[in-house]
Amino acid sequence: MVRLNPIPGPSGRLLSSTLPNQREKKTPSPVTVGVLTTANKKGLPGGEKQRLLKEMVDYGKKQNIFIFFFFAQGVNWRKRRITGYVWTGKQWRKGLFLFPDIIYNRIRFRNIESQARVKQLLRQFERDPSIYLFNSRFLNKWEVYKALRIKKSTAKWLPETVRFNHKSLTTMVKKYPAVFLKYSYGSLGKGIIKVKRLSDNQFAYAVAKKGGSKWKKCSSPNTLYRQLHYLSENAYLVQRGIDLARYKGKIFDLRTQFQKNRAGEWVLTGVAVRVAGKNRFVTHIPNGGRAAAYNDVMNEVFGSTSLTRRQVDEQLEQIRSIVPTALEKELRLCLAVLSLDIGVDKNGRLWIIEINSKPASFDENEIRTAHWQNLMDYFIYVNENRTRGR
């Protein structure tokens, strides 16, 4: 292991001095941020994910923020030291660090975060008064739905959702022309099942797959349930299907990101569109979807000067001002980065389909740049407020 020298401490002070008899210029202490992430067999994630880590470091340097990355097994709680990695601008180097001011949980996989030792570590970070931990865990769809359905101001954005069982499935397929079955802990559209009612009062269902979906017919809700009984009643949900607006004959949804800024207030980072592939019912790119520009799609679908077009923007602003704060309050979590998948129906009404506390990076450069800037601003906000409170 290489011990990096100097090593930033919790307040950004350096633990070793420069050359003897050399006067140091006084510079502001850096904010130190440890990013808890997930290792692959060789250490840090590779490819595109590693490029994003480097981007984060580069943006931090511009604002006197020192960022290093570490894994759960690298924490020595007794000595309050963390073995981690830092990007020097030319290479990754392994080093030993003091506990940072801020810890950002970017563990990428639920099965890793749900391990007992990892959950215990996160609880320790949360209880430590010298550390600020945010976005401490993944969310699940059912807890999000329950949290937001409490008040009318947030419930109005939600498609009706119930836990999956024989009775609820039967009720929902009779009530709505289409429903979706979703794994409460899933993401990226994996394993989503669409059920639609046919004109002869039969039903058909299909599972979203990368290579396309194959529809199967059922003669009754009972038959449908028997064919889907392998789904866990404790982990799957039945969600009302929304009659989405279409762009060039294909369904689409909005991929939005909300973040806290330099004032600790929620802002809309950006909005992009994902358009489903031909004859597909999910819009995720791995399932055949494609990216499109928000303004281009909205203007073509609703008209650039129409009242409906303006109302879409107004609804996004209403969601920004209400939903993230309500979610934090009800779940008692500190969240600073959220992505929302939002459906737009044919009347221009918005529907929150899914909320994610560990959003993937946007392909759109403008949104990704705004994300990094907001994130660095939030690090500074947290550090300033923690310093005042000392």
DSSP assignment of 223-243 equals: HHHHHHTTS-TTTEEEEEPP-
d(CA 335, CA 157): 20
Tell me the pLDDT band of 387, cut-offs 50, 70 and 90: low
Does 375 share its domain with 296? Answer: yes
Does 147 share its domain with 289? Answer: yes
Average pLDDT, rounded, for the chain: 88
SS3 call for 23: coil
Query: What is the model's pLDDT at position 27?
Result: 57
**Residue 332 pLDDT > 90:** yes
Query: What is the model's pLDDT at position 14?
Result: 33
- pLDDT tens across 140-187, in order? 999 999 999 999 999 999 999 999 999 999 999 999 999 999 999 876
The strand pair at 178-183 and 246-247 is best described as unpaired
Does 251 share its domain with 371? Answer: yes
Domain end point (choices 194, 212, 240):
240
Residue 130 inside a domain? The answer is yes
Burial of 240 (C-beta count, 10 Å sphere; 0-12/13-18/19+) = middle
Does 235 share its domain with 218? Answer: yes
Residue 122 inside a domain? The answer is yes
Q: Find out whether 365 and 289 touch, Cβ atoms under 8 Å.
A: no
Query: In DSSP terms, which residues pair with 218 in a beta bridge?
Result: 203
Does 252 share its domain with 358? Answer: yes
Does 334 share its domain with 230? Answer: no
- pLDDT tens across 366-383, in order? 999 999 999 999 999 999
Query: What is the model's pLDDT at position 39?
Result: 78
Q: Which of 388, 131, 382 minimizes the C-alpha distance to 264?
A: 382
Residue 216 inside a domain? The answer is yes
Tell me the pLDDT band of 5, cut-offs 50, 70 and 90: very low
Which range, of 6-15, 101-110, 185-194, 315-324, averages the lowest pLDDT? Answer: 6-15
Does 284 share its domain with 370? Answer: yes
How large is the average pLDDT for residues 97-125? 94
Q: Which of 378, 102, 137, 104 minimizes the C-alpha distance to 258?
A: 378
- Where is pLDDT greater, at 312 or 389? 312
How large is the average pLDDT for residues 243-251? 94
Query: What is the model's pLDDT at position 3?
Result: 36
Residue 388 inside a domain? The answer is no
Residue 24 inside a domain? The answer is no
Residue 10 inside a domain? The answer is no
Domain at 73, CATH number: 3.40.50.20
How large is the average pLDDT for residues 99-116? 94
Domain end point (choices 187, 220, 240):
240
CA dihedral sign of residues 201, 203, 204, 205: positive
Q: Find out whether 334 and 328 touch, Cβ atoms under 8 Å.
A: yes
Query: What is the model's pLDDT at position 78?
Result: 93
d(CA 43, CA 88): 16
Dump strand ranges (E) for 230-322: 236-240, 246-247, 250-260, 266-275, 290-293
Angle between helices 166-175 and 221-228 (to 10 degrees): 130
Query: What is the model's pLDDT at position 288?
Result: 72
**Per the confidence metrics, is the pTM higher than 0.75?**
yes
Residue 362 inside a domain? The answer is yes
Does 249 share its domain with 331? Answer: yes
Measured CA to CA in angstroms, residue 145 lies from 154, 267, 335, 340 at distances of 10, 22, 16, 13
Domain at 315, CATH number: 3.30.470.20
Does 145 share its domain with 293? Answer: yes
- pLDDT tens across 16-75, in order? 323 334 344 455 678 999 999 987 766 776 777 888 899 999 999 999 999 999 999 999
d(CA 57, CA 53): 6
Instruction: Domain of residue 200: give its range.
Output: 161-240
Q: Which of 341, 324, 313, 326 minimizes the C-alpha distance to 267?
A: 324
- pLDDT tens across 254-272, in order? 999 999 999 999 999 999 9
d(CA 168, CA 156): 21
Q: Which two tokens stand for residue 14?
A: 């350096």
Q: How many domains does the chain have?
A: 3
d(CA 290, CA 271): 14
Does 214 share its domain with 247? Answer: no
Residue 17 inside a domain? The answer is no
Buried-exposed string 144-172: b where 16+ CB fall within 10 A, e elsewhere = bbebbbeeeebebbbbebbebeeebbbeb
d(CA 56, CA 383): 17
Does 359 share its domain with 260? Answer: yes
Does 93 share its domain with 173? Answer: no
Query: What is the model's pLDDT at position 26?
Result: 54
Domain end point (choices 240, 262, 293):
240
**Residue 325 pLDDT > 60:** yes
